[in-house]
Chain A
């Protein structure tokens, strides 16, 4: 399934490296990535392909752990919710 990973937090080194490394280790393919600094806040949005439904919870929980470790806000959501709201 396609999912959107959003990472928000104070800018620091290693955010992109750590998040993408974790996704790589879990076998998650990154389809698109955009990153910007909004009012001093690091904001990264990734569109990823998670292989199987069962893998979703594992990836989500690993990213939650990483968020805690690095003091970031990380969210993983199926892309369907954004499509539903913003595409007819």
Chain B
């Protein structure tokens, strides 16, 4: 029999520490939609998604009611669209995806994507060039482009193109502070089973469909650390591990239930600490609880490294399949502590870049001046992709050059995407560097066979 303390601890985690399951994401393969006349591709895709995901939202709500834990998002990820879009207008395809996602009631659909880490096909190029219009004229479609891997190196032609695409996406949504860029991620070493947006897609190594679940719970970790003030780091790491274990067990339970009820195979649980802009749900506040006055000061990278590792160690035993991005997210606009640190000028782009060497993803939801040249954005992407390539980890850039705004201004996206101060970038040019194009060769440790 459970004891009262355990039951009340769970309730406290949910009520006061904002424990939730961040997302149930259904991965759907669209490869079966390809055969048939090109003119009917959008209809076939719409039908496939509407049929497969018909019960996703009601089942998610049902599990939420029964277990009494919020399941914040229900989402869909699809086969990277560039693999199936040859001969079709990519923007029309994005609109079909948008309609299908809305028909089944999900919050976001990810996978308007291209994997171009070595080179681009004609279909990849067409899709990438269509990203600004696709994101500006749809509501829930998210896009990602993989420009590098440890095995293939970095496709610098794609990196150059993505700088231009990000600028254009921002310009097309300038009345919303460049909101389209919040739905666009540039990856190195992208993973095939990530349930989190905006970078989710259903990889080609996946089956017809899969249920992937992303857990959350920065508030729970912070509350646990409040109990061990002044204790050595061994105790801090142990406390995080224990907490991550409990959080992940809930994710595993939800994933199994969703898989059973939807009759879709269980894929993975993503052990990520995903913050929200509300108080008590911040990764930055965990770092500050460890003893940093403000996130971004000296010691931040070490604190984040410990956190990221302990989350994985604690969570991995709690789930039969762990995957996705798994670690601590550090999106600036989506984390109240990060927003405060950026407002104080302590958290700068260079420090964020250092943090991405030890956390789960990368430069995320960072607003930069609207007049930042496309080549500078490409160079930021190249730096981040290089960190991913050399360290054999996923890295990403989701950056927003807010049109008409400069350092000191704010961008406001609302909801989970939050708000952020514009932070400065180096003004010295990277144009000649980016103009070279070509491919940065894969590192020596890619040759492991």
Residues of A whose CB lies within 8 Å of any CB of B are 4, 6, 32, 34, 36, 43, 45, 47, 56-57, 60, 75-87
B78 to chain A, nearest CB (A): 30
B residues 210-229 with Cβ under 8 Å of A? none
| A86 to B252 Cα, complex, angstroms | 14
Q: Which residues of B contact A78 (CB under 8 A)?
A: 66-68
Of A34, A60, A78, A82, most B-chain CB atoms within 10 Å: A82
Instruction: Please report whether the interface of chain B is mostly helix, strand, loop or mixed according to DSSP.
Output: helix
> In this complex, what residue of A is CB-closest to B247?
A85
Q: Which residues of A contact B246 (CB under 8 A)?
A: 85-86
Q: Which residues of B contact A79 (CB under 8 A)?
A: 2
User: Are the C-beta atoms of A85 and B68 separated by less than 8 Å?
Assistant: no
Q: Which of A34, A36, A56, A82 contacts B10 (CB 8 A)?
A: A82
Residues of B whose CB lies within 8 Å of any CB of A are 1-2, 4, 6-11, 65-69, 246, 249-250, 252-253
User: Are the C-beta atoms of B66 and A84 separated by less than 8 Å?
Assistant: no
User: Are the C-beta atoms of A45 and B67 separated by less than 8 Å?
Assistant: no
User: Are the C-beta atoms of B66 and A56 separated by less than 8 Å?
Assistant: yes
| A81 to B252 Cα, complex, angstroms | 10
With contacts A43-B8, A45-B7, A75-B11 known, is A81 near B68, CB below 8 A?
yes
With contacts A43-B4, A47-B1, A86-B2 known, is A80 near B253, CB below 8 A?
yes
With contacts A4-B7, A34-B4, A45-B4 known, is A84 near B65, CB below 8 A?
no
With contacts A77-B66, A81-B67 known, is A6 near B11, CB below 8 A?
yes
> In this complex, what residue of A is CB-closest to B257?
A80
15 A-B pairs besides A47-B2, A83-B2 with CB distance below 8 A are A4-B2, A4-B7, A6-B8, A43-B4, A47-B1, A57-B65, A77-B69, A80-B67, A81-B68, A81-B69, A84-B250, A85-B246, A85-B249, A86-B2, A86-B10
User: Are the C-beta atoms of A6 and B7 separated by less than 8 Å?
Assistant: yes
A58 to chain B, nearest CB (A): 12
User: Are the C-beta atoms of B253 and A81 separated by less than 8 Å?
Assistant: yes
Q: Which residues of A contact B253 (CB under 8 A)?
A: 80-81, 84
Q: Which residues of B contact A87 (CB under 8 A)?
A: 2
- A selection of 20 A-B contacts at a CB cut-off of 8 Å is A4-B7, A6-B7, A6-B8, A32-B1, A34-B4, A36-B4, A43-B4, A45-B4, A45-B7, A45-B8, A56-B66, A75-B68, A76-B68, A77-B66, A77-B68, A81-B68, A82-B2, A84-B253, A85-B10, A86-B246
With contacts A6-B11, A81-B250, A81-B253 known, is A86 near B65, CB below 8 A?
no
| A81 to B11 Cα, complex, angstroms | 11
| A82 to B10 Cα, complex, angstroms | 7
A52 to chain B, nearest CB (A): 13
| A60 to B249 Cα, complex, angstroms | 24
Q: Which residues of B contact A4 (CB under 8 A)?
A: 2, 7
User: Are the C-beta atoms of A85 and B250 separated by less than 8 Å?
Assistant: yes
User: Are the C-beta atoms of B8 and A86 separated by less than 8 Å?
Assistant: no
> In this complex, what residue of B is CB-closest to A87?
B2
| A85 to B3 Cα, complex, angstroms | 12
Q: Which residues of A contact B250 (CB under 8 A)?
A: 81, 84-85
User: Are the C-beta atoms of A81 and B10 separated by less than 8 Å?
Assistant: yes
| A47 to B7 Cα, complex, angstroms | 11
| A36 to B3 Cα, complex, angstroms | 13
> In this complex, what residue of B is CB-closest to A4?
B7
| A33 to B252 Cα, complex, angstroms | 28
